[in-house]
Amino acid sequence: MSQILTFLGKGGVGKTTTAIALARGYANQGKRVLLVGQEADGGLNIHGKILTCEPQEIAPNLSAVQLQATTLLEAYWEKMKAMETKFLRTPFFQEVYGQELGILPGMDQALALSWLRERDSENKYDLIIYDGSGDLLTLRMLGMPEILGWYLRRFRQVLTNSAMGQALSPFVEPMLRSIMQVSGDISQQTGQMTDILNLGQQAVNNPERVAAYLVTTNEARAIAAAKYLWGSAQQVGLTIGGVLAQGEIAKSEFAPLPIVSLAENIQELILPDYASANLAPLPVQIDVSAKQVKLYLPTFDKKQVKLIQSGPEVTIEAGDQRRNLFLPAQLVGRPATGAKFVDSYLIISF
């Protein structure tokens, strides 16, 4: 398994430059590094190499790749059609092309997440550095395991039994199967997808597996954007390990996160200890004995947060993000009795 790092911040603050510098720095330390780009403009340019969807070595210990949604989806879709031939009762899907599905909203991020999952499982790299859009789209990508898991748990059966669900199911289910590359009968597929999604969510929620760093300048709008993304990242369970800053920024702006200053012309960059992201405040802490759930939501206040409790789950809406939190068995069935903010933590009592 690999450590996966990504970066969040306003456009133009230097996220791609930072990603390249980190990749070079850790590769020169002897770590096996994969640098993954997914910008619409093909933003990665290293040593004049033209990057494709296949990783290529560009320096000792350093490989790079530029993801393209249409290429990835066509490859996945062709694999899916080959696996599913014996299960299909109609040739409908043989007439659907990967490029046609690539226009669907969120497909780029879903494909990137699946691709990262595959590279992680290969155990070929110590560190995977993902250079995406670095905004809410990246957070939605990392939140997909939870969102799709929620769909499978709560809505799949309801939609299957409804007219709308029957109309959408021929499109939604095959796309999920192709992206996650599962096959077999319906019960096996659901089990495989659930397992994959659970593992994905566990990885995103584990700072020793996946972490993000904020990148910002000392300009007010860049700082405000970084703060908003910091708070939003907690909603997908993503730990923010620190801040990489161009220019002088007061420590109080992002306390308690550490701030690392970026040189103006960085060629190589090493974080003080990227694995120490697990020292950053965890997005969720559950204290069964105190009957409390603590959510770290910096930059938000109580007026911006909405709670919905349904069975064993609590849904927390904050900003542009929604999180579905499974309660432990000891708290299932207990209604929330109160919620308050203390030192950037939303504390829910049961």
Give me the residue spans of the domains in the chain.
3-69+103-279, 284-349
Residue 334 is classified by DSSP as P
Confirm whether 3-69+103-279 and 284-349 share one CATH topology: no
Q: In this predicted structure, what is the pLDDT of residue 220?
A: 95
| Domain formed by 284-349, architecture | Sandwich (2.60)
Look up residue 262 and give its two tokens.
């970026």
In 10 A of CB 302, how many CB atoms? 10
How far apart are alpha carbons 21 and 266 in whole angstroms? Answer: 7
126: its two tokens = 């110590």
- Is CATH 3.40.50.300 correct for 3-69+103-279? yes
Q: Which residue has the higher pLDDT, 307 or 198?
A: 307
- How far apart CA 113 and CA 71 sit, in angstroms, is 15
Sign of CA dihedral 29, 242, 67, 142: positive
Tokens read off for 260: 């690392």
Question: pLDDT by residue (tens digit) across 25-53?
Answer: 999 999 999 999 986 555 566 666 778 77
- Residue pLDDT, tens place only, 278-321: 778 888 889 999 999 999 999 888 888 888 888 788 888 887 77
Distance CA 200, CA 142 (A): 9
**Contacting residues for 111 by C-beta, under 8 A, at least 6 apart:** 67, 69, 72, 73, 76, 179
CA distances from 75 to 79, 175, 290 (A): 6, 13, 50
pLDDT of residue 130: 94
- Candidates 348, 345, 344; CA nearest to 309 is 348
Quick check: 343 and 298 in contact, CB under 8 A?
Answer: no
Give the pLDDT confidence score for residue 221 in this predicted structure: 96
For residue 90, what are the contacts with CB-CB under 8 A and spacing of at least 6? Answer: none
pLDDT of 102 reads 47
SS3 96: coil
Give the least confident one: 33-47, 209-223, 227-241: 33-47
Centroid of chain to Cα 76: 20
How many whole angstroms separate alpha carbon 190 and alpha carbon 188?
Answer: 5
Q: Work out the pLDDT band at 93, boundaries 50, 70, 90.
A: very low
Tens digit of each residue's pLDDT (9 = 90 or more) over 67-84? 877 777 666 666 655 555
Check if the beta carbon of residue 147 is closer than 8 Å to that of residue 106.
Answer: no
